[in-house]
Structure 1
Amino acid sequence: MTPRVFVDINSIVPMENVKDFEEMYVELENQLGLIAEREQRPLQKMVATLTAIRAVLQDLREKVLAAGFDGTAAEISFFKVTKPRFFSLQILETELYHLENCRKAVTLDELRSYYGDELKSIGRFFNQYAFQYEYYRMKADELDGLCFVRGAALQSMLVTDLPDNDPEFTTAWDYLFAKFRALEMLRDHILHLLEGLNGQGADLGFIRPGRKAVPLKWTGDTIHAVELGYSIWVSDQVNGGDAELADVMHWLSTTLDVDLSRYTRLFVEIKARKILSKTKFLDLMKDAVMRYMNQGDAYKPVRKAKRIP
């Protein structure tokens, strides 16, 4: 029986490797943000994005094969966490392109129906790999020694019919975990699109019955949203602290409809503040809440809604 291996990527993998991988990921995110700004044509954008991602994946492969791993636990953490983070971006970009390219809807109802079908398709994939997806969601580790170690022999009931064309850089489930991650991001993106339509996807059951949703968009300074994102991340407010900075920024960007692709550069500006407080936005929020409480929870009048472009 393969021994159970407990994995903590921050304590088992050498810190210089973790830092190197994180820097590679942040640099890739910034590069993809620049491509999105520069290239508006869907096909050309996909080609440029996939080219950038594949180049980084190749670099990642070369680093791993050259340096090896400091034990089985480090190998598991790489193929369970690190590689899927990078590879999921490749899967997501392809899915996003097909989502838009295959869209034939011309009315709001047809568009809602199309997005609803796409969500059902994602749900069917999760159901098809229900055992593996539950293992992924629960962050289980009992089978890690079989599923995330190269060359490990899986029992037939656990084998998945998925790409495996590079045994030196592939394990039984790393592609599957990358696809789970990509499809979850795709699902969030589709839900965000539905929220932007009239009706807010109410016919699909994505909002509370009887409550008409209002489209919300971040209208404050982008740098304030970045400050908020870093604050949420460093204070471990999401997923019990088990969330990557890039994931928090992606979540905020999607939820608030704000471009945070250059969050690392903006954070450098925040740290470089000399006259203004380094936590200007947090200070602003604190002062506003304190004023509200000191006024006896005074009623805040509803402002006339402004048209959001």
Structure 2
Amino acid sequence: MNTKINHLLSDLTEQLNFIDLEIDNEIKRCEKAIEISIKSKEKLRVLIQKTNFKSEEEEIQFFKEIKPQFTSKIIYHNTIFNIEMKKPNGGTRVLKKYYNNELIKLKAFFDNELEFYKYYRTGNIYLDYKYFLRGKCDIKLSVNSYYFETDKTFSTSHDYKVAKILANDLIQLYLENQLIMIENKDNNEKSQRKPNVKMTWTSSKVALTELLYALHSEGVFNNGVADLKDIAEYFEHIFEIDLGQYRRTFLEIRARKADKTKFITSLNENLLKRMENSDDVI
């Protein structure tokens, strides 16, 4: 079952990525994305109804971690569709107010769901058997009215809330990006904002080299076709640093006996610690 689900999710992600590249109009892109996401979720529903979970733990994992990834995409694109459809015609001041009001609506959701939000974000599991098992609805645990209209064979009391949290994270990023673009337009900037301060790389050259190779391996620049040499020169330019013989440095990194990706490991650990300890929305 996991293989089929992973294939469904991978296929959905691939289709949505293709839409992002092919359709420029935000409203049309959302319409197509909603259509595709609904079809994918329906395939997931059929798959689950044909399969029995091996244990309660497997069922909890599905409704806590897997299904929300599908539902969140529908929520996200539907919300953006409505936001853009209702967007007022006006100058930058009007648009800023509009998008900021939408951000306030998001904050209201997090305020209303603060208890569950903290439970989910901090990785708690002690109420999972009530939140993410079918037929375990407890009205005392702040259940949305939406739940009572859902297919109980494919829903739990809180899987939709998880999807809403995932979607709202992306909606917030979208709204903030719109505000940034408006601000850039005000400043007659048609690309990225110009930084107000100079950034200096204060970690080691070895760490920067490790990051350089990691990003090149991931193919994050120019759709994966950027040359390592070009990326290295770009890093040297923006950080005003001489990486020297970075290829030899990489060989030394590769020859480490313990923790070959020392810097990347540290990045991962510190980011996870920040996520666990942060009380912010993001």
- TM-score of Structure 1 vs Structure 2, range by shorter chain: 0.5 to 0.7
Query: For structure 1, which runs of at least 5 residues remain unmatched after alignment?
Result: 1-16, 202-210, 215-224, 233-251, 261-265, 271-278, 296-309
Q: 1:1-309 alignment to 2 at 5 Å?
A: 17-40=1-24, 44-163=28-147, 164-198=149-183, 212=196, 228=215, 231=218, 280-281=227-228, 284-285=231-232, 292-294=242-244
* Residue 281 to residue 85, structure 1, CA distance change in 2 (3 Å): farther
Q: Residues 141-175 of structure 1: CA distance to partner in whole angstroms, max 9, x if unpaired? A: 11000000000131524333333420000000001
Q: Shift of the alpha carbon at 1:46?
A: 3.4
Q: Is the 8 A contact 1:119 1:187 kept in 2?
A: yes
Contact 1:87 1:175 in 2 (8 A): yes
| 1:228 partner amino acid | L
CA deviation after TM superposition for structure 1 residue 197, in Å:
2.3
Question: Is the 2:216–2:228 contact (alpha carbons within 8 Å) kept by the matching residues of 1?
Answer: no
Aligned pairs, number: 219
Q: Report the TM-score when normalising by structure 2.
A: 0.66
- Report the residue type matching 2:168 in the other structure: L
- Letter of the 2:32 counterpart: A
CA gap 1:111/1:95 in 2 versus in 1, 3 angstroms: same
Shift of 1:104: 0.5
Taking the aligned partners of 1:229 and 1:57, their CA distance within structure 2 comes to: 34
Q: How big is the alpha-carbon RMSD for the aligned residues of Structure 1 and Structure 2? A: 3.5
Contact kept in structure 2, 1:150 and 1:167, CA below 8 Å: yes
What are the superposed Cα offsets for residues 221-269 of structure 1, whole Å, 9 maximum, x if unpaired? xxxx9x839749xxxxxxxxxxxxxxxxxxx8xxx9x9x7xxxxx6xxx
- What CA deviation, in whole Å up to 9, does each residue of 1:93-119 have, x standing for no partner? 111111111110511122111111110
What percentage of residue pairs aligned between the two structures are identical? 21
Could you tell which deviates more after superposition, 153-162 or 84-93? 153-162
State how far apart, in whole Å, the 1-side matches of 2:131 and 2:229 are: 43
**CA deviation after TM superposition for structure 1 residue 121, in Å:** 0.5
Task: State the 1:64 CA deviation.
Answer: 1.1
Q: 1:50-94: CA deviations, max 9, x gaps?
A: 221111111111111112211000000000010000110000011
Q: Which runs of 5+ in 2 are unaligned?
A: 187-194, 199-211, 246-282
In the TM superposition, what is the alpha-carbon distance from 1:133 to its structure 2 partner? 1.3
CA distance in 2 between partners of 1:171 and 1:92 (Å): 20
Q: Quickly say closer, same or farther: Cα 1:287–1:181, change in 2 above 3 A.
A: closer
Cα distance in structure 1, aligned partners of 2:70 and 2:78: 14
Once residues 98 and 184 of structure 1 are traced to their aligned partners in structure 2, the CA distance between those partners, rounded to angstroms, is 17
Q: TM-score with structure 1 length normalisation?
A: 0.61
